[in-house]
Amino acid sequence: MVEILVKASSLVLIVALGYGIKRLGWVKASDFGIFSKIVLRVTLPCALATSFNDYDIVPALFFLVVIGFVVNIGQQVVGYWLNRRNGPAGKAFGVFHSGTYNIGAFSMPYISGFMGAPAMVHTAMFDVGNSLASAGVGYGWGMSMVDRTKKTSVVSFLRIVFSSPIFVTYLFLVALRLARLTLPGPVLVFTSTVGAANPFLAMLMIGIGLEVRLRRSKLRRAAKYLAMRYTFGIVLALGVWFALPMAHDIKIVLVMLLFAPVASMVVGFSEEASLDVETSAFITSVSILVAIVAMPTILLTLG
């Protein structure tokens, strides 16, 4: 218990450090994109390569892909239904902000800091389904409502999903392990060295991008989506814990992931669709603060 609290406190302090250096003017909020590219294209793929290298992918783990996909799609449908009378923009906003989990830039380094390499593999398998649902189906569905020229097709769906470096990394590593292949020793030395920097850079990036100010007139809308998100999280977590016949450690990872933050790409989706970017950024930032507290609390309670 003490070890988990120390690790959680360390990660929170790194987030606070990122927010602090932004307030001091050492970095700007616009620098978030630079850190995001380094984390998602360099340090995280290296950390994943190191974690996957000695882990056997068994068929049962593919159930995590299905869970990640179904959980997202179910919430997108509810988000659409709750906004069915709010016009195309309202329905698109509902689809974008219902479900969708920030796995690569937040949950992966956060969970690996607590539970190690096996938990990273379980998290990655969930994120395969999460990526398909949010970056693929959710994006295409939402954009098609606000821009009739952007009809979803198989080609556009695949282009969106395969534009994610993390998703491509997942597919490569899963295929490698299914073929019982491992990375050469010198490559692992490089990936383990670079990957070790991932938790620090990811948490620092979160602090730099954190923004929790919002005009009073928009708070009610943000509160509605956050309340819906965590109601779903609690109900689904109870279902996972008491109904799914899975190993104890996998259940813990799944329950933690259900309280992961809203994916940061959602703000980009909102901007591209000319939706309410300010409220989108606020929802994302608040969900990060909730996850910082909720995820280690879940581990302490269920572990």
Which has more confidence, 114 or 230?
A: 230
Tell me: pLDDT of 145 over 80: yes
What pTM did the predictor assign?
0.82
CA distances for 195 relative to 102, 190, 212, angstroms:
18, 8, 29
Q: Which residues of 195-215 are buried (b: 16+ CB within 10 A; e: fewer)?
A: bebbbbbbbbbbbbbbbeebe
Show the DSSP H helices in 104-258 as ranges. Answer: 108-115, 117-131, 139-146, 154-162, 165-178, 185-195, 198-209, 216-243, 248-257
CA distances for 24 relative to 19, 29, 38, angstroms:
9, 12, 22
Other residues' Cβ atoms within 10 Å of the Cβ of residue 299: 21
Distance CA 5, CA 1 (A): 6
Least confident piece of the model among 11-15, 55-59, 266-270, 296-300: 55-59
Q: What is the pLDDT of residue 167?
A: 75
CB 98, CB 75: distance < 8 Å: yes
* pLDDT tens-place string over residues 175-220: 888 888 888 989 999 999 998 888 888 888 878 877 777 788 788 8
Segment of 131-145, 211-225, 229-243 carrying the highest mean pLDDT: 229-243
Q: What is the pLDDT of residue 137?
A: 82
Looking at every residue in the chain, the average pLDDT score rounds to 85
Tell me: pLDDT of 63 over 70: yes
Q: Which of 298, 226, 288 is nearest to 256 (CA)?
A: 298
Q: What residue spans define the domains of the chain? A: 2-302
Tell me: pLDDT of 105 over 80: no
Q: What is the pLDDT of residue 152?
A: 61
* pLDDT tens-place string over residues 249-279: 999 999 999 999 998 778 878 877 888 888 8
Q: Which of 241, 242, 295, 297 is nearest to 119 (CA)?
A: 295
Yes or no: is domain 2-302 CATH 1.20.1530.20?
Answer: yes
Q: What is the pLDDT of residue 149?
A: 63
* pLDDT tens-place string over residues 27-59: 887 787 788 788 878 888 898 888 888 777 777
Local confidence band at 234 (pLDDT 50, 70, 90 cut-offs): very high
CA distances for 275 relative to 90, 94, 271, angstroms:
8, 11, 6
